[in-house]
Chains A and B, each alone.
Chain A
Amino acid sequence: MKEEECRVAANTNIQGRYYLMKIESEYISEKSDPGNFVMIAVSGSNDPLLKRPFGIFKIDSPYFYIYYEVVGRGSKLMASKKEGDRVMVVGPLGNAFPKYENENMLFVGGGRGIAPLYFAIEKYSGSNNISLIYGGRSKDDLLFTEELKQFPLNEAAFYTDDGSGFKKGLVTTDIKEIIERNGINVTFSCGPDKMFESLNEEIGSLGIRNFVSLEAFMGCGFGICYSCVVKGSDGKYKKVCSDGPVFRMEEIKWQT
């Protein structure tokens, strides 16, 4: 990993609060694996002070892409960046999803949590049989469904909480049937904490290998400030940034 000043090659408002930023960095685009993230200085000043973490969505060397939702001050500043602007970036950070070959895999994405999974599908769909479950609040929160369908997927199921555009339901609605139908033995998931809680309840004890990529408010992003911790099932705190963001589902102490 390193810290470098990078050029914003594009920053596109895809729809509503969702943006796609294309950033030029030969180093990050060559060193990154699905699950890795970067820290980006959103202000270029002391306020806000902290860099913000963003999962890597796609690589097209020498560019990498960040898919983000405007939710607060930091992401709002991100959205104001223009092509040609320069941003300080630290990366690639964190661990990555494990590499598999010839496995029947299921990827489960909730909302903007699709970001690292998109990268994983792009990279691993040629060497594994991948199925996808992707859910969001409404059709306006479920982006890239057409692009995702272009990949060689065994099965792709889309859901919205309110039933707009896609089947009404949650990512867990048909998950057991999908796992059984496709002989799934590995899952990768990324989304809000609530989604992980229900996933853990539904599939945590099926005896398959489940990996989750967590999101957290971070200080440094590389393991020195000890602020982005989650409680592990062993009772010890784990740093999302440097012990993760990818964990085995059973490593985390879930609320339910």
Chain B
Amino acid sequence: MADLTADLGFIKLKNPVIPASGTFGYGGEFLQFFDLDLLGAFVMKGVYTDERGGNEPPRIWETPSGLLNSIGLAGPGAEGLKKIIKDVASKTSTPIIVNVCGGTDEEYLEVARVLDVMKEVAMLELNISCPNVRAGGSCPAQNSSDTKRVVKLVKENTKKPLIVKLSPNVSNISSIACSAEEAGADAISVVNTFLGLALDIEKRKPVFKNFFAGLSGPAIKPLALKIVWEVANAVSIPVIGIGGIMTGRDVLEFILAGASAVQTGTVNIVEPTGSVRIINETRELMDKLKINKLEEIRGCLEI
């Protein structure tokens, strides 16, 4: 039977499937559906220092094979999250990744410091790419200098491995990924959602109060796959591929494009047991294609 181990260098995961931030709650919500130990790891919903209510509804809009969201990172704040983390960690041995948000450099630092002392947290994922919290969808991941500054600041103040989650809404993602790598990132996760616009023709208004929203789901898979390929060829740290993964075949495509692991997103919303199905499908497809280990195909695209 195929070995699904995903080696990120600083940690070995039992399989490459990691439910993504914002699509998996705080993990505990899924215990009623399956054993979290089945997952490679999981990412908790993004957190700021303080409690946040999130954006004014509507917050989601369905598109062909996709989903636009403008949730706005609702959450309990870093201190409030600590209890939730401890509770979930007592029910699983799967590595917990927490998605770190910030409105300012200081806030990123503060959240990272709160989480840094928690033994239950295996890794941090620095969210410098959420499109739904600042005007016009702006974020630090939009340019190299902001990316470098924020990553360096957080990396210097945490002992945890730091994954940096980047935005696809840029002209040259490879250069931004290189900036994150230079600043000390241990891994890159790509991509966050693509900025999109939903319109209401009757009211002649945008659907979302925040105007733009983030597109996810199978609709973005080819776009994400291209970015993973580009970034994996630009950096030497591990890349975690994200974007519309719905099947085991999708997982192997991202690995082939150069990803060391993947994050599943929208599938967790539409199919609560989807990530487990995807793990099983990945194993079955590897067996069928006679792939013993992910390393055998990672980045080995024949061109």
Binding site for B on A (CB under 8 A): 1-3, 41, 46-51, 88, 90, 217, 219-220, 222-230, 236-237
**Contact of B60 with A223 in the complex, beta carbons under 8 Å:** no
Q: Taking A2-B33, A225-B23, A225-B269 as contacts, is the C-beta distance between A46 and B65 under 8 angstroms?
A: yes
Which single residue of chain B is at the shortest CB-CB distance from A48?
B62
The contact sample of 28 A-B pairs, CB cut-off 8 A, is A3-B272, A46-B65, A47-B64, A48-B62, A49-B217, A49-B270, A50-B62, A50-B270, A51-B270, A51-B271, A90-B272, A219-B69, A219-B269, A220-B268, A223-B29, A224-B23, A224-B24, A225-B22, A225-B60, A225-B269, A226-B71, A226-B74, A227-B59, A227-B69, A228-B59, A230-B57, A236-B53, A237-B53
Which single residue of chain A is at the shortest CB-CB distance from B221?
A46
**Contact of A49 with B74 in the complex, beta carbons under 8 Å:** no
The interface residues of chain A, by DSSP majority, are classed as: loop
Query: Which chain B residues border A1 with CB–CB below 8 Å?
Result: 32-33
Q: Taking A49-B266, A217-B60, A227-B69 as contacts, is the C-beta distance between A222 and B273 under 8 angstroms?
A: no
Contacts of B45-72 to chain A: CB distance below 8 A? 45, 53-54, 57-60, 62, 64-67, 69, 71
**Contact of A3 with B59 in the complex, beta carbons under 8 Å:** no
The answer for the CA separation of A223 and B23 in the assembled complex, in Å, is: 10
Contacts of B253-303 to chain A: CB distance below 8 A? 266, 268-273
Minimum Cβ distance to chain B for residue A25 (Å):
15
**Contact of B269 with A223 in the complex, beta carbons under 8 Å:** no
Query: Which chain A residues border B196 with CB–CB below 8 Å?
Result: none
5 tightest A-B contacts by CB?
A: A224-B25, A227-B60, A227-B59, A46-B65, A220-B269
The answer for the CA separation of A225 and B132 in the assembled complex, in Å, is: 14
**Contact of A217 with B273 in the complex, beta carbons under 8 Å:** no
**Contact of A222 with B29 in the complex, beta carbons under 8 Å:** yes
Does B232 touch A at the CB level, under 8 Å?
Answer: no
**Contact of B272 with A220 in the complex, beta carbons under 8 Å:** yes
**Contact of B66 with A222 in the complex, beta carbons under 8 Å:** no
Does B218 touch A at the CB level, under 8 Å?
Answer: yes
Contacts of B81-106 to chain A: CB distance below 8 A? none
The answer for the CA separation of A48 and B270 in the assembled complex, in Å, is: 10
The answer for the CA separation of A123 and B59 in the assembled complex, in Å, is: 35
- Provide the B120-137 mask, 1 if CB < 8 A to any CB of A, else 0: 000000000000000000
**Contact of B269 with A2 in the complex, beta carbons under 8 Å:** no
Which single residue of chain B is at the shortest CB-CB distance from A239?
B74
Which single residue of chain A is at the shortest CB-CB distance from B26?
A224
Does B246 touch A at the CB level, under 8 Å?
Answer: yes
Query: Which chain B residues border A2 with CB–CB below 8 Å?
Result: 32-33
Q: Taking A219-B60, A222-B272 as contacts, is the C-beta distance between A49 and B67 under 8 angstroms?
A: yes
